[in-house]
Amino acid sequence: MSTVEVLSSQLKAEGYEVISGSSQKNQVLRLLDMLLMVIKHRSKTHVLLIDTYSTSAFWYAYLVSQLAFRLKLNYIPILHGGNLPHRLSSHPKQCQRLFGRAKVNVAPSAYLMHHFEKAGYTNLSYIPNTINLENYSFKQRRQFQPHLLWVRSFAHIYNPLLALKVLQELLKTHPQAKLSMVGPFKDDSIEDCKTYASEHDLPITFTGGMPKADWLEYTKDFDIFINTTNVDNTPVSVIEAMALGLPVVSTNVGGIPFLLDDEQDALLVNPDDVHAFTEAVLRLLKNPELAHKLSKAGRAKVEHFDWEVVKEKWVEVIG
């Protein structure tokens, strides 16, 4: 589920009436459905929450916000896109209309807070991405095997091919290594990955998207979580991995260094660096004490992202 879908279910559990949309796959139909929902429910809408990303989906948020403004509806953009700082500079007028008119902009990371403050925005509130921690059982692994887990939408900006190249290098010294890649297919990066895996006979499983309950069970068979992205903000998948006790190796892009502390609760490497990423994974395999340290520190950190801790901030901004 998307961040706003998770938030919707959490707010409903707190007694709020929440209407969500859209489930349309076609981009034009999706936009029309969103706009029509805003018009249809405007009379009983207290505040409109808008998931806001930095790529093409940015325009969904922009157009929905402009309709809300004309209808005199309060709206709150929830900032997700790791490339939003670039959008602030490349489309300043549109960003001012979207973010400047908002009741408040909710930033889930210190990274986005920093860049929005730098751009002159003051209507900001830091509320981290949240999980229901009780659903995530911490597993203390006694031994760490080269069993890698990657969880993300397949999209070029998340550089999934790097995960395959890391596995390829790892197999040279650890022939028992394996990789599972979990996530929906957003662009043709999945075809690139399947072709590469076939050409190099790599032991990889592509599961597609998985229901949350199935995924939580599935993670028990893996020992290291890898995040290969070129653009990022505060990925929930990384927070979930830490909650489950999986030590994390990630590229140090976007908001990641604001979320993770290198050598303390994760290992961070430069983007698209196969050698450095492989060496980081090998460090965990050769040094289980380090892996245990990262695992425990990661779980301690994400306890601050638990819904029971975060929900009061949402109650305050919704008003």
- Give the Cα-Cα-Cα angle 57, 35, 78 (nearest 5 degrees): 45
pLDDT at 30 exceeding the cut of 70: yes
For the segment 303-311, the average pLDDT, to the nearest whole number, is 93
At 125, is the secondary structure helix, strand, or coil? Answer: strand
β-strand pairing of 105-107 with 178-182: unpaired
- Token pair listed for 79: 């900032």
The 10s digit of each residue's pLDDT in 118-133 is 999 999 999 998 889 9
Q: Which CATH superfamily is domain 133-304 in?
A: Glycogen Phosphorylase B; (3.40.50.2000)
Question: Can you give the pLDDT at residue 80?
Answer: 87
For the segment 74-93, the average pLDDT, to the nearest whole number, is 93
pLDDT at 304 exceeding the cut of 80: yes
HSE-CB at 194 with a 13 A cutoff on CA atoms is 10
For the segment 50-65, the average pLDDT, to the nearest whole number, is 93
For the segment 81-107, the average pLDDT, to the nearest whole number, is 95
Strands (E), 6-123: 48-52, 75-79, 105-107
Q: Which residues of 27-62 are buried (b: 16+ CB within 10 A; e: fewer)?
A: eeebbeebbebbeeeeeebeebbbbbbbeebbebbb
Question: Can you give the pLDDT at residue 4?
Answer: 76
The 10s digit of each residue's pLDDT in 99-156 is 999 999 999 989 999 999 999 999 999 999 888 999 999 999 988 999 999 999 999 9
**178 to 205, 212, 222, 237: CA distances (angstroms):** 8, 22, 9, 19
Residues forming beta bridges with residue 105, ordered by sequence position = 124
H helix or E strand, kind and range, residue 204: strand 204-208
For the segment 40-44, the average pLDDT, to the nearest whole number, is 95
At 268, is the secondary structure helix, strand, or coil? Answer: strand
At 234, is the secondary structure helix, strand, or coil? Answer: coil
Q: Which residues of 212-233 are buried (b: 16+ CB within 10 A; e: fewer)?
A: eeebbebbeebbbbbbbbbbbb
The 10s digit of each residue's pLDDT in 228-278 is 999 988 899 999 999 999 999 999 999 999 999 999 999 999 999 999 999
pLDDT level of residue 1 (50, 70, 90 thresholds): low
Q: Nearest Cα to 79, choosing from 106, 115, 48, 110?
A: 106
pLDDT level of residue 2 (50, 70, 90 thresholds): low
